[in-house]
Amino acid sequence: MKMTNRIKWSVLGLACVAVAACDIINPAEEIPAFIYVPAFELQTDPATEGSNSSNITDVWVTSEGDFLGVYSLPARIPLLKSGDTQLSLRAGIKDNGINSTRDIYPFYKNYETTVDLQPNETDTIRPVITYRDDIKFSLIENFENGNNHQFQELRSGEEANKIVVTTQDAFEGASARILLDTASSFVELATVDRYPDLIKNGLLVYLEVNYRSEVPVIFGLVGYDVSDPFNSFPLYDPGFSPKGEWNKIYFNLSVLAIEGDFDQYQVGFNAFIPVEGGQLTLDKAQLQLDNIKLVHF
């Protein structure tokens, strides 16, 4: 009888050890709370910051100093936290419109909030953001003043290729329209003004553009040194492909401005009907632009 009891207690002891070991090896999973971020809303002062149009594609999430990841919008985000939790949400974009170059847009403010998180519950957050206070808009061109706009310098092409400002099919208010055809299939335009000190207070320079286009367009800068103001150096790199619906793109011109190292820059672009097999691919084409902003620190 005593031996039987000893065996029972030994088996029971081994079972307890096994259960404890299982708890260590396979601990109970925490149940996450969730936040749902459908989109960001950008608010601007139209007089000093231009249009509130944006193309924020991602949210970068930080919680109390811990970076939690990047999520495509709309996003339902799990968090292994509970109770009052501080969150920092940053607006993410596609640098130069490229899916693989997602980044935080440096000129928008963070959205800070505190949420009472509860396991398996979802809190919806609708971030409202603004531009940072320490940035400079060297150029805001919304084409609302008719033909009194910045892109008047015809560097290449025909007079027929120059911008016509119209309200027809405009993005908002009035927009720029450029027509190309077989007789004039290429145009290069630049701003009348030249902009100094693009990288004086920082190394980030962006160009925001709303567009709709039947042809490829390449944007960039035209550099000048004050010692030789009549000799220009075009620096074109980022661009966009044809798109039938209005879109917004954020061009990162930082490398162009840094490597160019010129005293002043114009903003410029060229548009063209592509050639395949020695023939133009289109007999005529249209390009529309709006809300062009040159932003830097």
User: What average pLDDT values come out for the chain (297 residues) when binned by 10 residues?
Assistant: 50 48 61 97 98 98 95 97 96 96 97 97 98 98 96 97 97 98 97 97 97 98 96 96 97 97 97 97 98 98
What are the backbone dihedrals phi and psi of residue 144, each rounded to the nearest 5 degrees, phi first? Answer: -85, -10
Residue 99 within any structural domain of the chain: yes
Residue 27: the pLDDT is 61
Give every CB contact of residue 69 below 8 A, 6+ residues apart in sequence. 60, 61, 77
Residue 7 within any structural domain of the chain: no
Residue 125 shares a structural domain with residue 227:
no
Residue 141 shares a structural domain with residue 106:
no
Residue 96 shares a structural domain with residue 194:
no
Residue 19: the pLDDT is 47
What are the backbone dihedrals phi and psi of residue 234, each rounded to the nearest 5 degrees, phi first? Answer: -70, 135
Residue 280: the pLDDT is 98
Q: Answer with the one of 108, 129, 150 that is the final residue of a domain.
A: 129
Residue 8 within any structural domain of the chain: no
Residue 30: the pLDDT is 86
Residue 5: the pLDDT is 53
Question: Between β-strands 217-225 and 228-240, what pairing exists: parallel, antiparallel or unpaired?
Answer: antiparallel
Residue 16: the pLDDT is 46
Tokens for 273, please give them. 């009907």
User: Three-state DSSP class for 73?
Assistant: coil
Residue 147 shares a structural domain with residue 285:
yes
Q: Is 166 exposed, middle or buried (0-12, 13-18, 19+ CB in 10 A)?
A: middle
Q: By residue range, what is the domain housing residue 276? A: 136-296
Q: What is the DSSP string of 181-222?
A: ESSS-EEEEE-SS-EE-TTSS-S-EEEEEEEEESS-EEEEEE
Residue 82 shares a structural domain with residue 150:
no
Cα–Cα distance between 107 and 90 in angstroms, integer?
10
Residue 224: the pLDDT is 98
Q: Answer with the one of 129, 159, 181 that is the final residue of a domain.
A: 129
Residue 21 within any structural domain of the chain: no
Residue 25: the pLDDT is 61
Domain CATH code at residue 66: 2.60.40
Residue 183 within any structural domain of the chain: yes
Residue 219 shares a structural domain with residue 289:
yes
Residue 12 within any structural domain of the chain: no
Cα–Cα distance between 38 and 35 in angstroms, integer?
10
**Residues 56 and 40 sit within 8 Å (Cβ to Cβ):** yes
**Residues 163 and 77 sit within 8 Å (Cβ to Cβ):** no
Q: Answer with the one of 101, 129, 157 that is the final residue of a domain.
A: 129
Residue 159 within any structural domain of the chain: yes
pTM over 0.75: yes
Residue 17 within any structural domain of the chain: no
Where b means 16+ CB within 10 Å and e means fewer, 8-25 reads eeeeeeeeeeeeeeeeee
Residue 106 shares a structural domain with residue 212:
no
Domain CATH code at residue 190: 2.60.120.200
Residue 29: the pLDDT is 75
Number of H helices, E strands in the chain: 3, 24
Count how many domains the chain has: 2
Residue 271 shares a structural domain with residue 250:
yes
Residue 89 shares a structural domain with residue 185:
no
Residue 145 shares a structural domain with residue 120:
no
Residue 153 shares a structural domain with residue 188:
yes
Residue 120 shares a structural domain with residue 169:
no
- Start-to-end CA distance of the chain, whole Å, equals 87
